[in-house]
Amino acid sequence: MAQYRIICTNQQPSGVPNDRAHIVGVGTGPTSAQYTSYWTLQQVLNAMDQGDTFYTYGENSRKSAWVHKYVCPNCTRTHIRSAPDAVRDNNLDNLSTCKIN
């Protein structure tokens, strides 16, 4: 079982506030400088099913937040979100957008 730090996300639909969009992909890496691996939502869900864990880390707050699966009440599909902890900089919705080459 491995742990992965999520440093950026891609959300859809684009152009709407992050609290109204769903995460469809994430970038992971040891620092916030640049991601070293890109995962689709399905790859993250599959890895979680196999026991891997994902987390975020706030550079300013120095606090981590675990990432969990949840079922969206609107679309009834499984997605991911960070654990609520009232810390803004480790919230998945507040991470930068992954730049895909």
- The pLDDT assigned to 86 comes to 74
Total domain count, the chain: 1
What tens digit of pLDDT does each residue of 65-76 get? 999 999 988 889
Domain of residue 43, residue span: 3-97
* Spatial distance between the Cα atoms of 23 and 40, rounded to a whole number of angstroms: 9
pLDDT tens-digit readout, 88-97 = 888 998 899 9
Tell me the pTM.
0.90
Q: Model confidence over 19-63: pLDDT tens digits? A: 678 999 999 999 888 899 999 999 999 999 999 999 999 988 999
Please report, as a single letter, which amino acid is at residue 53. Answer: T
Q: What's residue 17's pLDDT?
A: 65
Whether the pLDDT of residue 100 is over 90: the answer is no
pLDDT at residue 18, as a whole number: 59
- CA dihedral sign of residues 101, 14, 33, 43: negative
